[in-house]
Chains A and B, each alone.
Chain A
């Protein structure tokens, strides 16, 4: 996993609640056996007017001018601001890969669906929960001022506006350290191989029917 470093990034607003992973990356793109290349199909059904299929030439597609990410002022956005229960639905990690591949590094919402939230930390996308009222205010500000950006400092666990207002967010220490250090979680777990083996032996004695 790549290290997460602090960033000051342009914010794009996605003013919908319950954005599901089918909307983030539609199923036809899940047929890929690769981890990369999903960014061009992020929010495909909202972003384009034609029906997207894998391996389509992106330059020949018709972007939907009404969709927020197609507006000039949000090009290059690295922070997505959105509403409650972001990432609900399917467990597809492709949703996280697509957001990341598109260029997002941080998602801010009042709440996230459990599996999406969990998946995001596994690959270095930072999901930040802020209260409904703070998110409301940020929506207002992002609409009002073009070029609206936020500074995210993971070390200090703060999101700071260009006006200097700073909001604290929670993150559990294990996830934080993995993100900050870009750690390989499998490698970390395998350092406890002895513990796993010891547990497995005990488990085999208690519930032998679980083992062949």
Chain B
């Protein structure tokens, strides 16, 4: 009997080493502009060539502007980084979706969208949210730049086998409760280090009922629970999503592939090192109040009081977080007023996310205290589809800005950022200090919750407005 993780692991071992270490073969290498320049430079200095060009897919996403693209990138340092990626890809013959390509977008959105992420693969990228791709029963994890270079040069990585955790979510999610809320509820439960050292498999009836978009949101946030890899078994929903994607196999190969993919699930009765159970019916919309994703509470809750915490290290962390966030203990979450709204990022910028947000704002208008509400689709193709469905019009009519695809205010490397002390409802994944701009204040929520907050000007329970 084997877990999904073991199956993925065993089918990629090139060489076993001591201490659970193995040389693993990498099938798909996604590359973006921020973590790759030093790796390409390293290859060049050592006189090495990429091992397998057809395994690499590159895109610029972190630095790209989300406004008018025709004029290129203003910031010369950002521009140099994107140009460097373009040059490296051209020189080596790597497939890249450039800034003016409709297929350009956030690396973790375009991989699955193109069918470049397929079940059974090992997928790596110099980016921690590579865990997203695990939604397709991949072993997918983020790596550092030295490893980017290592994979480019050898198609392999020396990896230590992780322990295995199963997170079982069963039952039906309430109206207005989404995969994002499940992810935040899990992190609230096990903490940001709860998954450290583990590969996590999400399963249970709730997970089976999620769309691929929802599953990607869940696996995306695995890293926020400390787990380098999150994954979900293959089923009809997985196969349906992949069918006809540009990079997906066709004809006979498709038949052969799907037969194999259907074996990519943990065998019944297999034992995990750790099991966490969640009851979907108990999960409410979540809002983070602090500077770590584990500082999260339900929308009907109040900002916690550090004085109630015994652990002194934890208490100090809470005090610091509250000071940074400009919040007082016991404030009701629904009394927190916002300045900006960000709907986007590799967590929540897919078509389903945009539909959920649009449904909430349709026919309404953002509150007067909201200085900026923006929607940043995850890719050019998501944007196009949303426009075909008329979502852009709904957002624009509601006072939102409708932008070009990229990471945008998820990490604010481009011109989209919070000013000091500005407070934002964000559908992204990290509420760390300074993440969305120096001294900016981030509250992580689902797209529907962010949309509802835009209309009200403060947090509201989306279940009451749907």
Chain A interface residues (CB < 8 Å from chain B): 15-18, 20, 22-23, 26-28, 30-35, 45, 51, 54-55, 83-85, 88-94, 96, 111, 113-115, 118-119, 122-123, 172-174, 184-186, 189-190, 192, 195-196, 199-200, 203, 206-212
**Partner-binding segment picked from B151-159, B280-288, B382-390, B452-460:** B151-159
Complex Cα gap A192–B23 (Å): 10
Q: Does B349 contact A (CB under 8 A)?
A: no
Query: Once the chains bind, are B81 and A23 in contact (CB under 8 Å)?
Result: no
Complex Cα gap A144–B77 (Å): 44
| 14 more CB-based (< 8 A) A-B contacts, given A114-B197, A209-B118 | A18-B193, A22-B411, A22-B430, A22-B434, A26-B438, A30-B413, A93-B126, A115-B142, A186-B154, A199-B14, A199-B25, A209-B253, A210-B27, A210-B118
Asked whether A18 and B317 contact (CB < 8 A) given A45-B433, A196-B154, A207-B257, the answer is: yes
In the complex, the number of residue pairs spanning A and B with C-beta atoms less than 8 Å apart equals 189
Contacts of B78 in A (CB 8 A): 31
* Chain A nearest Cβ from B253, distance in angstroms: 5
Q: Which residue of chain A has the shortest Cβ distance to B147 in the bound complex? A: A122
Considering only residues 138-193 of chain B, those with a C-beta below 8 Å from chain A are 141-147, 149-150, 153-156, 158, 160, 192-193
Asked whether A89 and B432 contact (CB < 8 A) given A111-B193, A115-B144, the answer is: yes
* Chain B nearest Cβ from A113, distance in angstroms: 6
Query: Once the chains bind, are A114 and B77 in contact (CB under 8 Å)?
Result: no
Chain B interface residues (CB < 8 Å from chain A): 11, 14-15, 17-19, 21, 23, 25, 27, 34-35, 37-38, 41, 46, 48, 51-52, 54, 62-63, 75, 77-78, 80-81, 84, 118, 120-121, 126-128, 130, 141-147, 149-150, 153-156, 158, 160, 192-193, 196-197, 226-228, 248-249, 253-254, 256-257, 260, 292, 313-314, 316-317, 320, 411-413, 420, 430, 432-435, 438-439
Complex Cα gap A150–B54 (Å): 49
Residue in A22, A51, A54, A203 whose CB lies within 8 Å of B433: A22
Query: Once the chains bind, are A186 and B149 in contact (CB under 8 Å)?
Result: yes
Contacts of A27 in B (CB 8 A): 411-413, 435
Task: Give 7 closest A-B pairs by Cβ, nearest first.
Answer: A93-B144, A209-B249, A119-B144, A122-B146, A33-B37, A91-B142, A85-B193
Query: Once the chains bind, are A172 and B21 in contact (CB under 8 Å)?
Result: yes
* Chain B nearest Cβ from A91, distance in angstroms: 4
Contacts of A206 in B (CB 8 A): 11
Complex Cα gap A190–B385 (Å): 44
Query: Once the chains bind, are A92 and B144 in contact (CB under 8 Å)?
Result: yes
* Chain B nearest Cβ from A27, distance in angstroms: 5
Query: Once the chains bind, are A186 and B34 in contact (CB under 8 Å)?
Result: no
